[in-house]
Chains A and B, each alone.
Chain A
Amino acid sequence: MSMLEQLTHRDRVFDFLAPVASPVDVRHGPILYMEGVNVSFDGFKAINNLNLTVDDGELRCIIGPNGAGKTTMMDIITGKTRPDTGSVWFGSRHNLLTKSEPDIASLGIGRKFQKPTVFEALTVFENLELAMAADKRILPTLTAIMKPEYRDRINEVLETIGLQQLRDRLAGILSHGQKQWLEIGMLLMQKPRLLLVDEPVAGMTEQEMERTAELLTSLAGKQSVVVVEHDMGFVRSIARHVTVLHQGSVLAEGTMDQVSNDPEVIKVYLGEEA
């Protein structure tokens, strides 16, 4: 129906004719803009009037107790879950609520899952190959060839994530921490504008955590990064700007110090740990 309605607006380019991959417009500041978003599952309000903006090039940490709606929020941004009401924009041009998961991914939103999800039956190299920004339609994929520049790019990322030695091994044999890194590497291959990273350091050793922190902070600036994390030490080490979610809406926002001194926050979240 909405497609027919568009026909009556003669001044507009039809949505279905507009190139999907038109550049992300961030002249107005935010790269991600969520307003008045509500989602409920069988009467349970998972997201309750959520308002959130992330600026271009920002590194944002999102914390909150279990069930605060962090993962649901990522599902909404990546198109997996459709909100009941509200609007979600990527830059000021792309309305994410009208797009499918693959479209959103090719617009430049990459996602790392909470549980590391890599393709275990494929090698580390092949995992990165599939993630690479490329024409992902059927026939181009069928006839795709491994060009030297692609190989270089994959090797570059392999080096960044420290898995060069394991490039031809199946991803299934990797340790938990290595899988996390591989998934971050897959994110990098996508060359996203916005990275959504769900619990990147779960199951990592202290050392691995440090390297992850380094990597994520080095990405910010070029790309925008949203990190959801439970580990307060890790958040403290990377965060400049923290958002606290509670019961599906924003409870507090600010620097780590501001947030951790907020009495409300202490009551619902930090208090449990102290």
Chain B
Amino acid sequence: MAVSQNWLLRPFQERSTQIFLGVLFAALVVVTFLHLFMPQDSALHVSAYTVTLLGKYLCYALLAVAVDLVWGYLGILSLGHGAFFALGGYAMGMYLMRQIGDRGTYGDPILPDFMVFLNWGELPWYWLGFDMAWFAFIMVLLAPGILALVFGFLAFRSRVTGVYLSIITQALTFALMLAFFRNEMGFGGNNGLTDFRDILGFNLRTDATRLGLFIATGIALAIGYVICRAIVASKLGRVSIACRDAEARTRFLGYRVERVQLFVFVVSAMLAGVAGALYVPQVGIINPSEFSPLFSIEIVVWVALGGRATLYGAVIGAILVNYAKTVFTGVMPDAWLFMLGGLFVLVTVFLPKGIAGLLKKRQKQPQTQEATA
């Protein structure tokens, strides 16, 4: 088979990517159709509430793909990816706050409500520029990217790996959570940012905007997936696996392991940031609880359940677990955490390769035949 020369086009030749993109786009089209053209009282009608809920799942799926890139392929178990997700979310939230303008409770044309409430005279310098969409969208990438760059540079240069790195990432997100809880930080304290009105001129409370956000999230997931797949399918992806399995050996082959780790980590953080930015307008709020260590651990559970180092496994895991969460927290709110823990234990014991491992096993037979033919 002719392999494409262009690293970004390579994923499209892989069967798993074709299937993934096909399923994703089919889902987007079906949901859109059922939402728009089925009568309200039909059993097949998808409500705006469900569309937004699905959009939220897709955000989580993109976040899970980002975590799988660093955990599955690079062997870095990040227990702090929620921090990058939340930073992207806050960047988007700041843009949405500035869009409110004088429609807030206090009617101040520039200051968000919480600043008026705190008697702040003017906008802090780091809020400047967030009234412009392009600036905010760049910050969605840059804020998590720069944090990952600085954190990763220090950690990987000192060759911190394994459990120790996981603990530091956990501490990172915990520290950020404490910081963002403080009112003086200027991010709305424990209430966070909310009461959003519109995005790019579209009213956030209309069904059409919600559908648009859902579709945008689906496209972002597709792009993020393709970027990750392209990295994984490139020689750099194989070097990542080499770093994961035998770091010292990779170094003696002449690769700068810490730079490989840094590059992949930063790409992953930026994808997590994008996921956060799409999450915030759909759920309508961003507050410091997104930084909570528990959330970051949950992400890892999604990936483990779905299956590590497959990318699509992360998507399956994120969607299934969150769907189960929606259902069971509705039925028995107290039992959910026990169920999640039980599920995690069961999968680790009986399905060490996750749900994706089941799919792979079924595929294996024809694949080996192909290889020998």
Asked whether, in the complex, the Cβ of A142 is within 8 Å of the Cβ of B7, the reply is yes
A230, chain B: closest CB distance, angstroms:
22
Partner of B236, one of A100, A141, A145: A141
Indicate if B238 sits at the interface (CB-CB under 8 A).
yes
Considering the chains assembled together, what is the distance between the CA atoms of A101 and B258 in angstroms?
A: 12
The 5 A-B pairs at the shortest CB distance, nearest first, are namely A105-B254, A144-B235, A101-B251, A106-B254, A142-B236
**Identity of the chain A residue whose Cβ is nearest the Cβ of B3 in the assembled complex:** A146
Chain A residues with Cβ below 8 Å from B234 are 141-144
Residues B226-262 near A (CB distance < 8 A): 231, 234-236, 238-239, 241-242, 244-246, 248-257, 259-260
B51, chain A: closest CB distance, angstroms:
36
**Identity of the chain B residue whose Cβ is nearest the Cβ of A141 in the assembled complex:** B236
A: residues with CB less than 8 A from B are: 78, 80, 100-102, 105-106, 110-111, 113, 117-122, 126, 129-131, 136-138, 141-146, 168, 186, 190
Asked whether, in the complex, the Cβ of A119 is within 8 Å of the Cβ of B245, the reply is yes
Given contacts A101-B251, A145-B5, 17 further A-B pairs with CB under 8 A are: A110-B252, A111-B252, A117-B246, A117-B248, A118-B246, A119-B246, A120-B245, A121-B244, A122-B242, A126-B238, A129-B238, A137-B259, A141-B235, A141-B236, A144-B7, A144-B236, A186-B253
DSSP class of A's interface residues: helix, strand, loop or mixed? loop
B: residues with CB less than 8 A from A are: 3, 5, 7, 231, 234-236, 238-239, 241-242, 244-246, 248-257, 259-260, 263, 371
Chain B residues with Cβ below 8 Å from A138 are 236, 256, 259-260, 263
Q: Which residue of B241, B246, B248, B249 has the most chain A CB atoms within 10 A of its CB atom?
A: B249
Asked whether, in the complex, the Cβ of B254 is within 8 Å of the Cβ of A143, the reply is no
Chain A residues with Cβ below 8 Å from B254 are 102, 105-106, 136, 190
With known contacts A121-B241, A142-B7, A146-B3, A130–B253 Cβ distance under 8 A: yes
Chain A residues with Cβ below 8 Å from B253 are 105, 130-131, 136, 186, 190
Partner of B235, one of A100, A110, A129: A129
**Identity of the chain A residue whose Cβ is nearest the Cβ of B5 in the assembled complex:** A145
**Identity of the chain B residue whose Cβ is nearest the Cβ of A145 in the assembled complex:** B5
Considering the chains assembled together, what is the distance between the CA atoms of A131 and B259 in angstroms?
A: 17
A127, chain B: closest CB distance, angstroms:
9
B143, chain A: closest CB distance, angstroms:
22
Considering the chains assembled together, what is the distance between the CA atoms of A119 and B234 in angstroms?
A: 16
A179, chain B: closest CB distance, angstroms:
12
Chain A residues with Cβ below 8 Å from B231 are 142
B117, chain A: closest CB distance, angstroms:
47
Chain B residues with Cβ below 8 Å from A100 are 256
B250, chain A: closest CB distance, angstroms:
8
A125, chain B: closest CB distance, angstroms:
10
With known contacts A101-B252, A102-B255, A121–B245 Cβ distance under 8 A: yes
